[in-house]
Copies of this chain bind each other. A is one copy, B any other.
């Protein structure tokens, strides 16, 4: 029941036909995207995910990470799994070859990342945090920092962490108080950080902490924060390990889910100050942080997809083997597998359709990021960068909300057994619940979408995406069959809904910000539903074209069409109704005085 089957065919279909991997392959350095190679990578990653990581998922839930005399002990088997992973070269998959990486595009790395998270989210968080550290160092580190730290972070010999949050500084990182004082060529860091994922572990002999702190003379707020590299053990210039740095884990949080992942309270500088070096410039830590967090946001979106996929597979397995009640469509009184019951099928189809739509949108966003990174500067490159920027908060928030909904359906399909922890369905429900919260709550994402991604350029990027939807609709209209026609109508209505809501958002983001902020979450939801619908429409077009090819796998392709049709009937059809709460609902959302709640 807890087996994980990596959905490699579905992933490849999205990569080849929905995302358009061939466009990436045609660019310089694109040989790594050659279809056979990608298939091989996915197959091998799938083995590690299914054979090594997935069996440890329940173990990590039942035997959480613990603090033992100031040292974090990860759950049984986790350390060995990490060694397998590093030895297989998996940590370096997404990184550029000049730092020892394999140079695969993000969109392929993300399919691999989805597998790690679906197999074992509590474990996968460790390597995921390293990615953020590599990104920040590669973009903003000094030559010396890169020389000493990047190769080992890329290979996975060391891991990285992100230290942003403090008790009084959550969504508002500018409120942080951790201090950094200049001392020769380095800084002394003092302060407390909370919610530090894998702040310590027993996997590697060093950990590279990226810590936001404030200089004594720094301006107030977010313009006065700087980013520091603070290793657990100091690193000598020959790369060997020196003294233990002045930092420690104070305690681990007792959480609703992801029990395997040590969420640390960290103390820096109890004995005079932890030694750190500056990344980027003084007081420009926010920009470095956004570099570090941007991909993390998409990665968290992928966690939503991953847990949705896993919850779906788990529920499907149960629905196939659990026999209960007769088949409404048969005259026989014999009980049948609950998969036969219409309401169970509806739930499974909902899970499947939402998983496929969020996956397609997330991969498509990563592909834009890859194109933005690889295309020569120019309007096309800028358009891809703008598209990735626009969709990043949508992918983060919509996929994680969907992940929670899908995991809840998974519990429901199990009936009473879903509430029993031994069944395993409840773990996904608990684990995935962090994803709408961390790396910027979904409310923060909605504000980001409304003010920075749509409002700031007065809707230019959003309207470019609407034009993309219209192109997809034209392609769809040329496809045969009732499914394409039904989806086409739903997509047209969805487009118009998103267009109308976007006009309102652009206008409102210039006026009273409170109104746009009150409607932001509903706008993001509408955006996700319509964008996901566009990806499903593209899936129909691709499947229809592939069906026309002799010898194609019609069962697989027809399933893609049926899932897209379900999505249009049950999800995309809701788009027009979401316009009213956005354009007319802010007033009632803000109607009450504080004391009347």
- A: residues with CB less than 8 A from B are 165, 168, 170-172, 175, 194-195, 220-221, 253-257, 316, 320, 323-325, 328-329, 333, 335, 339-349, 352, 404, 408, 411-412, 415-416, 418-422, 426, 429-430, 433-434, 436-438, 441-443, 446-447, 512-515, 517-518, 520-522, 555, 558-559, 562-563, 565-566, 568-570, 573-574, 576-578, 580-581, 584-592, 594, 596-597
Q: Are B570 and A349 in contact (CB under 8 A)?
A: no
Enumerate chain B residues within 8 angstroms of A558, measured Cβ to Cβ: 596
Asked if residues A339 and B594 are in contact (CB atoms below 8 Å), the reply is: yes
Q: A588 and B559 in contact (CB under 8 A), knowing A256-B426, A325-B171?
A: no
Contact partner of A335 among B172, B437, B522, CB < 8 A? B172
Instruction: Write the nearest CB–CB distance from A165 to chain B, whole angstroms.
Output: 7
Known: A325-B171, A415-B437. A420 touches B253 (CB 8 A): yes
Residue ID in chain B nearest A483 by CB atoms: B588
B514 near A589: Cβ-Cβ < 8 Å:
no
Give 10 pairs: A residue, B residue, CB < 8 Å, sorted on A.
A170-B416, A175-B324, A195-B416, A329-B512, A562-B591, A565-B588, A566-B589, A566-B591, A569-B587, A577-B577
CA of A587 to CA of B347 in the docked complex: distance in angstroms?
14
* Residue in B333, B404, B515, B587 whose CB lies within 8 Å of A408: B404
Cα separation A333 to B573 with both chains bound (whole Å): 42
Q: Are the CB atoms of A441 and B412 closer together than 8 Å?
A: yes
Name A343's contact: one of B408, B438, B521, B585 (CB within 8 Å). B521
Q: Are B580 and A573 in contact (CB under 8 A)?
A: yes
- Contact present for B559 and A592 (CB under 8 Å): yes
Contacting residue for A349 out of B253, B421, B592, CB 8 A: B592
Of A170, A346, A562, A590, most buried by chain B (CB within 10 Å of CB) is A346
User: Which of chain B's residues have a CB closer than 8 A to the CB of A255?
Assistant: 419-421
Residues of B contacting A563 with CB < 8 Å?
A: 592
Known: A329-B514, A342-B586, A416-B438. A172 touches B324 (CB 8 A): yes
Bound form: Cα–Cα A492–B231 in Å: 64
